[in-house]
Structure 1
Amino acid sequence: MFRLQKQRQFGASSEKFPSGQLTLFGEETSHSSTLENTTVQGTSKAYNQKKKKRKVRESLNNELPVTVVHHSLPLKEQACSDCGHSMHVMKKEIRREIKIIPARAEIVQHERDVFSCRTCEKENTHTPIVRASMPEAVIPKSMASPSAIAYVVTQRYMYATPLHRLEAQFRQLGVNLSRQTMSNWLVLSTEELLRPLYSAMHQFILSLPVLHADESTQQVLYEEGKQPSSKSYIWLYRTGRIGPPCAIYVYSSTRSATNPKLFLENFKGTLHTDGYSGYEGLENVSLSGCWAHLRRYFDKAVKAAPKNKKEAPTLSELALMKIGEIYKIERKITSQSFAKRRKVRRKESLPLAEAFFAWLQSIQPIVTPKSQLGKAIKYGINQKEKLLRPFLDGILDIDNNRAERSIRPFVLGRKNSLFSITPKGAQSTAILYSIVESAKENKLNVLAYLVHLYETLPNIDKNNVNELAKLFPWSKKLPEQCYLSKN
């Protein structure tokens, strides 16, 4: 426990295994050093034979507007200092700079003409009144505009900026906008506009054959029947290799197994999980395990053990090397077709995985059950069936890293904002993270996409699924400004 705590406090958080120090099959050190020297010499020869090319600057987008500022000599100074004749431009020296234009706030005043008939006003009892068309407001009787709400959402849920810092930013722009007002904007616009789109995205991912799931804690201060210090949860469900990238976050006050049962009620397929028992018992759902979580157990065992002074690897280090052999195969086939992946996995990966579990069962009797290594072995043996499932199919991943990458932005935002005030606010947070993260995964300009949503949703039938489908982050019907410009 002391070594683990020391590692957490002072050590690197990386779980990467030190390559080149230990070998799985026990080759002699002299052989590996000879090979290393040969590689270095060959590399140096190639370097001397071919000059190193200068890297092209990639920080500037070709589609960015360019303003040319021309600098030249006054006409009087263009005469030669020696002979007095006029000089010509021999060449141009060019220096490029990035100019940042800060955000600014302005007021947009909507004025609508209302028409009536003067003749009918004098002669008839009924006077027809006709109003000019005008787009609906995002929030009725509010000064919130699509761009203002989109900016707050982007800053809060994409860049993890707390609302009190946004309040200070707006003050610098000459706008006194309180954090309470911004919070009301987020909740009201989410409930009235984004929830139907969120529900449609939820139904869409249930039609896919493979999903990933994960969950993380969330603190809600004022929740009925619970203490402010108690834990609530944000659940994540996202697509895998099949279908467009889509991440759905769901708020729940508990970590009960009823939560995935409700969300996945109509799902029929395979669910990638981290081994949490709450996903057990789902109807028509098969579970696929996570080799990254299993590897993490053995990595913790390596860090908890005394420093290995022997040349031979310890059992924990040997386990990491065996898992590394499986990941080497995965890296080779990651971009290949599902059929090819399935064939290679059955031929190469599956025998390695089965041999690995046979080895775990053979060493379990000689390892202390409550040690870190003992816990790792127990986790692996208990999860054996789920951990072997990916090697029977090419469309599955061998780990749940997709879900972990998608839950990370929420965890970062939680570190900065700490908690939600009410369950309603936590539900809005889940919906907004779903929209923002799905937009990021589909290579959209998040701010432009949100502006498009807030301009469009008030003016369409939100019960029409076909209309909502046009607004999905992966929809081909989105305007061009919603996409990130390509270099």
Structure 2
Amino acid sequence: MSHLQEIKVKKRTVGQKEKLIKNLPIINVNCMLHEDECHCEWCNTELKIIGKEEVRQEIEFIPAHLKVRKIMRYAYECPTCKKDGADNIVKAVTPAPVIPRSLASASSVAWLMHQKFELSVPFYRQEKEWENYGIALSRATMANWVIKASNQWLKPIFDLLHQQLLHSRAIHVDETTMQVLKEPGKKATTKSYMWLYQSSKDSPEQIALYQYKPTRAGENARKFLEGYRGFMHCDGYEGYNKVTEVTRVGCWAHLRRKFNDGIPKNAMQNKSQSEIGKDFCDQLFKVEREIAFLSPEERFIQRKEKATPILNKFWNWVEHTNALKSSILGKALQYAKNQKPYLMNYLKDGECQLSNNLAERSIRPFVVGRKVWNFSTSTKGATASGVVYSIIQIAKVNGLSPYKYLQYLFEELPTTPFKEEPELLQNLLPWSKEVQESCK
């Protein structure tokens, strides 16, 4: 006898389906009588339509397909001049290619970048998908397209955004591991790193930049942020001390995790010391939630008023709490003492944050992708990956469709003389009016 358990289905909210499909184009499927059936079965009079009703709505999936775009250039001549023996031939202007002497188009390069770097579909899987579309596009070709298009067209946008990031009042920095197989002077199994630099959530221009580097040395962050003078949010990694001329802001979320790790799994009658430490952190985060929607100026005032009493009690508790140095609690307390100047710096400006969670959320898409494609083959590929991830993340945080933005850049940049007139790149940044109108 089988034991069947009733499954409770959550009732749908009225109008939920309509909300899901409100932005999709509509195609009416008209169900009508065949011509032979349009006569009355009793008197053979022709039937007339008296109304119609909607029976149901369905979502139709239309698979992607490929077409070959032949760029045909027309030539013109002046017949009058020709009669006089002078040839005057004019040829039409053609769009510049994304990658010369290749089959690559703006849409195809944007699509494979969207697939790999936004949806985490590795090239070997895309290879099979392209084959189903009707073309044998190898993973090596796809990798070359990404590297060339990134270097030629996306890197200038990346460099301009880099310069604008250095004028931010506050930034967030993080790094994570990656593997590069063919890295000069290193074994294939050696760790390399992807660094992330992001503007604060209060910045009018949202920027998130990824940069591949072969090591975790703090010198990498120092070089990237050379000339920066604002607030730098980061974790407790000592390498960040290499970045001078900044006000380093510590991450309370990291400290909270350290206290959380020390809480006993079995329930206790009284709160453990680790739980008390975590509770202090939770109180600070509660304050941040209450003031999150205020302006930086108002947030600065409210934060000092509400958080200072909690902080005073917390540091007093830290100084008077004893624990073995080797214990989880002992390590958490020592971390708090070592990081105290940085942890307190978030009080100095309303644009500062209590944690570095913003950077951790932004670096997560790279971590998810890394689990799927595992490694980069070359340093050129790793560098290009950082640039493409940057453009995709910047599109997302500025409310754009990453695929549409990539395609837009590959259509516009080859015909834009930005090397001679660098100011033209400003019109292609994600917050420009034309980009916002074209790439939603």
Match of 1:476 among 420, 433, 437: 433
Does residue 229 of the first structure (1) align with residue 189 of the second (2)? Answer: yes
Residues in 2 aligned to 1:450 and 1:330: alpha-carbon distance in whole angstroms = 36
Does residue 336 of the first structure (1) align with residue 297 of the second (2)? Answer: no
Residues in 2 aligned to 1:204 and 1:476: alpha-carbon distance in whole angstroms = 18
1:467 matched residue in structure 2: 424
Secondary structure class of the residue paired with 1:238? strand
8 Å CA contact retained: 1:469, 1:475: yes
Residues in 2 aligned to 1:78 and 1:351: alpha-carbon distance in whole angstroms = 86
Residues in 1 aligned to 2:224 and 2:49: alpha-carbon distance in whole angstroms = 74
1:142 matched residue in structure 2: 102
8 Å CA contact retained: 2:260, 2:274: yes
Residues in 2 aligned to 1:117 and 1:87: alpha-carbon distance in whole angstroms = 61
Structure 1 counterpart of 2:297, one-letter code: A
Residues in 1 aligned to 2:385 and 2:397: alpha-carbon distance in whole angstroms = 18
Residues in 2 aligned to 1:60 and 1:397: alpha-carbon distance in whole angstroms = 34
**How far apart are 1:326 and its partner, in Å?**
1.3
Does residue 247 of the first structure (1) align with residue 212 of the second (2)? Answer: no
8 Å CA contact retained: 2:169, 2:351: no
2:161 matched residue in structure 1: 201
Secondary structure class of the residue paired with 2:94? coil
1:442 matched residue in structure 2: 398
2:282 matched residue in structure 1: 324
Residues in 2 aligned to 1:323 and 1:135: alpha-carbon distance in whole angstroms = 57
Using the aligned pairs only, state the percent identity. Answer: 36
Deviates more, 1:283-292 or 1:384-393: 384-393
Residues in 1 aligned to 2:348 and 2:230: alpha-carbon distance in whole angstroms = 14
1:35 matched residue in structure 2: none
Unaligned runs of 5+ in 2: 1-11
Residue by residue over 1:102-141, the C-alpha shift from the partner in whole angstroms, topping out at 9 and shown as x without a partner, is: 11011111111345689999998x9665432101111111
2:371 matched residue in structure 1: 415
**Mapping of 1:60-79 within 5 angstroms?**
60-73=20-33
Distance 1:253 1:118, change over 3 A: same
**How far apart are 1:55 and its partner, in Å?**
5.6
* Structure 1 segments (4+ residues) deviating >6 Å: 84-88, 116-124
Residue by residue over 1:237-291, the C-alpha shift from the partner in whole angstroms, topping out at 9 and shown as x without a partner, is: 0010223221001111111121111111111100110121111143321011111
1:7 matched residue in structure 2: none
Match of 2:116 among 138, 156, 166: 156
**Mapping of 1:75-474 within 5 angstroms?**
92-114=53-75, 130-240=90-200, 241-302=202-263, 305=264, 307-308=266-267, 310-363=268-321, 366-463=322-419, 464-474=421-431
Unaligned runs of 5+ in 1: 1-51
Count of residues in Structure 1 that have an aligned counterpart in Structure 2: 425
Secondary structure class of the residue paired with 1:379? helix
Distance 1:203 1:352, change over 3 A: same
Structure 1 counterpart of 2:147, one-letter code: V
Distance 1:354 1:79, change over 3 A: farther
Residues in 1 aligned to 2:380 and 2:167: alpha-carbon distance in whole angstroms = 28
Residues in 1 aligned to 2:34 and 2:373: alpha-carbon distance in whole angstroms = 57
Structure 1 counterpart of 2:397, one-letter code: E
Structure 1 counterpart of 2:375, one-letter code: F
Distance 1:326 1:202, change over 3 A: same
Residues in 1 aligned to 2:34 and 2:77: alpha-carbon distance in whole angstroms = 64
**Mapping of 1:41-60 within 5 angstroms?**
54=14, 56-57=16-17, 59-60=19-20
Distance 1:99 1:360, change over 3 A: same
Secondary structure class of the residue paired with 1:250? strand
8 Å CA contact retained: 2:199, 2:208: yes
RMSD of aligned Cα (Å)? 2.7
**How far apart are 1:368 and its partner, in Å?**
1.1
